[in-house]
Amino acid sequence: MDWLVAAALFLVNEILSVPAFLIGIITAVGLLALRRSAGLVIGGALKATLGFLLIGAGATLVVASLDPLGVMIQGATGAHGVIPTNEAIVGIAQELHGAQVAWLMILGFAVSLVLARLTPLRYVFLTGHHILFMATLLTIVLATAGYSGTVTVLVGGALLGILMVSLPALAHPWTRRITGDDSIAIGHFGTAGYVAAGAAGRLVGGRRSRSTEELRLPESLRFLRDSMVATALSMVLMYVVIAAIYVAREGETAYEAFDGGAENLGNFMMQAVTQGLQFGIAVAVILFGVRTILGEIVPAFQGIAARLVPGAIPALDAPIVFPYAQNAVLVGFISSFVGGLLGLAALSLWLNPALGLALILPGLVPHFFTGGAAGVYGNATGGRRGAVAGGFVNGLLITFLPAGLLLVLGDLAEANTTFGDTDFGWFGILIGYGASIGSWGGLIAVGALGLLVLASAILVQKKVVDAGWDPSPHRPAPARAGAIETDSPAPADAVGRHPRISPPRGAPAPPPRP
């Protein structure tokens, strides 16, 4: 049996948990189903893989730029507590439950494909690392409740498969508001934050709140219309201000915020400027990677839809929505971070003394990726005010939910880290308390919760998504940042229509398709 465990671990850790490989395989399968030539299949798969590697490279640059900023924020505010980091908690859990996580993930992916085939939820979840994260969370929670390895894998795999097809459906009316069609869905376990952001945008937006992408600037400030420039400049200002506060409080000790330290005050401040500029580069790399992957995965899914899951819609990682409203990404990030700081204040002054909840420090990486996406969702339904409100609501959610999740993680609650995104929080808390009933009662409670999520998603798909409900009908369609270039026809949706990918404003209309 050892070789079976080793094979499962290899499949999960070296292939399925690496989004680039998973996307490349799926793209190749789709192109083969379309009967493309070997050259086009290989080229498309490699291009899709490279697109995701570009996203990963950009994400690495983001993390490298945000790490010293996080150190400086903690030093400037004096706050100490738990920093939610998915990768850290998963790494710790792998040492305890590695084999169970592997089998649960494989079973969950298989269940999701079966559900996508047999139910109206035609979503194929392709964010491999988030599948691994949720598989790890479910393993921890069910194992902590005392269930055997076999029960944990079977029950957890079923729950994982349900989430992978249900959550994209629950968010799809809001996602379609962003993209304008059914070509892609959101496949990221921050869905609750994005839905809340879209709802908040609808609530505060109104007709007069213009899109973040329609900023009217004087001629001298026209350079800020370039999203890379605007992002870099904003981050430089943030870095310099926080660095100044930190050095005023800690003196030369603050120089250690950067690897290797800094030689003097001037060098320290210029390193802050450099890190802000590198953040702008990182965001540009991510956006280019997103456009590259979309250009391959969207047409490849025509083959997936025709062969494996008719009408399949790829559910992809959060940065997939970034190109649709690039200014909203920055607005959402900053607003989410502010929400995290206010949430930390509430935990410190009220919830920690009253309920014993841990202090959750605002990690800049989750606030950037989920907050940026929340800003896009909020902007789509409520313009600039919506982007601010959406990011802020997301910031509160990814502060309070991880604090509650720690209560059901057993011994791993002492690991000084936890899962960061919203769906890990609300689902983990509900599963944890349901499973804590123990024995058959716990399994019934957990199963009922999974069936409730699935039934809710099917109802939303039939009554809301398929009915074409627009969450913000009073607003014009949001301006979009650019087109997705592809040499292949767009995939047909579930009823055979071909979704339209909008060109950037001012671009000439494409010639009619013969």
**Strand partners of residue 82:** 360
Tell which residue, 423, 447, 418, 446, has the closest CA to residue 433.
Answer: 446
Residue 308 lies inside a defined structural domain of this protein? yes
- Tokens (6 digits) for 318: 């959060």
- Tokens (6 digits) for 103: 């089998």
Residue 482 lies inside a defined structural domain of this protein? no
**3-state secondary structure (DSSP) of residue 503:** coil
Running DSSP on this structure, what letter comes out for residue 82?
A: B
- Tokens (6 digits) for 332: 């959402």
Strands in 342-492 per DSSP E: none
Domain range for 126: 2-465
Instruction: Answer whether 295's CB lies under 8 Å from 274's CB.
Output: no
Place of tokens 């992002």: 231
Q: How buried is 149 (Cβ within 10 angstroms: 0-12 exposed, 13-18 middle, 19+ buried)? A: middle
In this prediction the pTM is: 0.75
Residue 176 lies inside a defined structural domain of this protein? yes
Running DSSP on this structure, what letter comes out for residue 498?
A: P
Q: What is the dihedral of CA 442, 443, 449, 451, to 10 degrees?
A: -160
**3-state secondary structure (DSSP) of residue 246:** helix
Say how far apart CA 215 and CA 327 lie, in whole Å: 9
Residue 511 lies inside a defined structural domain of this protein? no
Residue 480 lies inside a defined structural domain of this protein? no
**3-state secondary structure (DSSP) of residue 279:** helix
Helix (H) or strand (E) holding 316: strand 313-316
Instruction: Answer whether 313's CB lies under 8 Å from 168's CB.
Output: yes
- Tokens (6 digits) for 54: 């570009």
Residue 382 lies inside a defined structural domain of this protein? yes
Residue 502 lies inside a defined structural domain of this protein? no
Distance of CA 37 to the CA centre of its chain: 34
Residue 490 lies inside a defined structural domain of this protein? no
Domain total of the chain: 1
**3-state secondary structure (DSSP) of residue 111:** helix
Tell which residue, 339, 354, 328, has the closest CA to residue 422.
Answer: 339
- Tokens (6 digits) for 134: 């949720």
Residuewise pLDDT in 10s, the chain (514 residues): 677 777 777 876 777 666 678 778 878 887 887 788 889 889 988 888 888 788 778 777 877 777 787 788 777 766 666 778 787 787 777 767 777 887 888 788 889 989 999 999 999 888 877 887 898 899 999 998 889 888 999 999 999 999 999 999 999 999 999 998 888 999 999 999 999 999 999 999 877 778 888 866 566 656 655 667 767 887 788 788 888 888 888 888 888 888 777 788 888 889 889 888 887 788 778 768 767 776 776 677 656 656 778 888 989 889 899 989 888 988 999 899 999 999 988 988 888 788 878 888 887 778 988 999 999 999 999 999 999 999 999 999 999 999 999 988 888 777 767 898 999 999 999 999 999 887 889 999 999 999 999 999 999 999 999 999 998 877 776 555 443 443 333 333 333 333 333 333 333 343 333 3
Helix (H) or strand (E) holding 124: strand 123-125
